[in-house]
Amino acid sequence: MTAISSALILAAWNWLTPSPAYLLAGGLALAATLGLLTWQLCISYLRARALADGKRTLEASAGELRRLNEMLEARVAERTAELETLTHSFSHDLKSPLGALLNFSAILEEDHRDRLDADGRDILMRIRRSATRATQLLDGLLRLDRARLAALDFREIDMKELAARAFEQVQSATGDRDVELVLEPLPNARGDHFLVADVLVNLFDNALKFSRGREKRCVTVRGRRAGAECVYEIADNGQGFDMQYATKLFGVFERLHATPEIPGVGVGLALVKKIIQRHGGRVWGEGEIDGGARFSFTLPEKAAP
């Protein structure tokens, strides 16, 4: 047997019969590895359990939050309905005595005017003026109420044709014939035909009202598609307004111009806002003093749910 063969046999024998020290080192390494794996498994288990507990806690909290939110929404809806019902009833209940007051004051003026001195006639005029304004305010509240309660009948609307008819309606009612209407191409919209017509009538009425006394009065109607919305704009060359008061434009009974020569009770734009919101759209106004005003609104391309 050669020396090389002897060395190979010896090496094989040592490998097959390791020394106690070698066995001890291997056992310690194996134990350390198993311990590390056990530790990692414990950590993973505890982490998974903590995540599961946290998820259950979050789900419970989210459920409670949803429940409280639903309760709050129901309470708000209930209180809103009660307030609107009260407003509706209040408006109707007041119309009868106000109508009687106007009728009796008209009879008094017609049959007994000669018996009244100047102060008496002035007081009678103030009574009639106040009763008329109160009636207009109540009519405005009822219009808002109808806009809120009316069932929406969504269909395609030819906005250019509707705008032309609405403008003609306002001109006939106000006698403002010295106004040029510029109708640019308008995309068709989907919405309630009668309520959208009400929007246009109120915006045109606003434009004519605040452009009286101007030379070459002009109202321009524009429209375009913007993503899923149709955007419409009605611009005039009238008095305009200060943009610092823009947030008050659509408030009920809010009027930026308190001059008695300009009629109105501050309901028209509030009505516009209510109708547009019911269609899922937006409305806003822009203007400058003596530089005209522009009122824009959007209607969704598809019917609101």
DSSP assignment of 227-241: TTEEEEEEEE-S---
Q: In the chain, where are the structural domains located? A: 1-149, 154-300
CB 157 within 8 A of CB 192: no
Question: pTM score, two decimals?
Answer: 0.64
Distances (CA, A) of 168 to 143, 197, 201: 21, 12, 9
What lies within 8 Å, CB to CB, of 242 at 6+ separation is 256, 288, 289
Cα gap 179→195, rounded to integer Å: 24
CB 128 within 8 A of CB 106: yes
Cα gap 156→232, rounded to integer Å: 15
Cα gap 269→284, rounded to integer Å: 10
What pLDDT, in 10s, does the model give residues 8-41? 555 555 555 555 555 555 555 556 666 667 777 7
Q: What is the CATH number of domain 154-300?
A: 3.30.565.10
What pLDDT, in 10s, does the model give residues 95-151? 777 778 788 788 888 887 788 788 888 888 888 888 877 777 777 777 777 777 778
